[in-house]
């Protein structure tokens, strides 16, 4: 599987071990930066991961920031990205199976290396469910994304025409 990995500065050291682990499992792991601990904003890392997934350069991605919260919030702003912050293996595989999660978010300052390996392993080994109940729920999520996207476009249009 082709997998992208991107952290902010707080996730840099965990990125190194995740890349090594993925490659040891036989996956192709794309390093999307950052390349040192110099401060980087997590929305930039989320953008890099979203671009890679949405362009289909990769099948899935791992995104890492200090707590995982900020990166998760940022990644989920991209239509078609289903990012989940996981601290347990059940959520890491169930998120893929039931919710078609395509981005695993980790907290580099929250979880240890061994747990990160367990989570990443569960994430990449999980298979998307095609059960009707899961597909029905995913369709509802897509409808919400479409509705919210149209609302945002309409709001922008109103702002542009009102001159504010």
Catalytic residue positions, numbered: 65, 98
> What values do phi and psi take at 158, rounded to 5?
-60, -40
Q: How far apart are CA 56 and CA 101, in angstroms?
A: 14
Q: Which two tokens stand for residue 148?
A: 């919210």
Q: How far apart are CA 108 and CA 130, in angstroms?
A: 32
Q: Which two tokens stand for residue 85?
A: 């912050």
Query: What length is written for the chain?
Result: 164
Alpha helix positions (H), the chain: 12-24, 42-54, 69-75, 89-99, 113-125, 132-162
């Amino acid at each position: 599987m082709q997998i992208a990995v991107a952290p902010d500065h707080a996730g840099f050291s965990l990125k190194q071990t995740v890349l090594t682990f993925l490659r040891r499992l036989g996956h192709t792991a794309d390093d999307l930066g950052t390349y040192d601990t110099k401060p980087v904003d997590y929305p930039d890392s989320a953008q890099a991961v979203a671009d890679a997934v949405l362009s289909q350069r990769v099948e899935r991605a791992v995104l890492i920031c200090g707590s995982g919260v900020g990166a998760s919030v940022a990644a989920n702003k991209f239509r078609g990205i289903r990012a989940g912050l996981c601290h347990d293996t059940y959520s890491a595989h169930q998120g893929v199976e039931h919710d078609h999660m395509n981005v695993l978010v980790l907290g580099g300052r929250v979880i240890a290396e061994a747990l990160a390996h367990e989570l990443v392993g569960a994430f990449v080994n999980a298979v998307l469910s095609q059960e009707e109940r899961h597909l029905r729920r995913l369709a509802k999520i897509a409808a919400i994304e479409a509705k919210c996207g149209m609302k945002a476009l309409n709001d922008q249009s109103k702002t542009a025409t009102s001159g504010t």
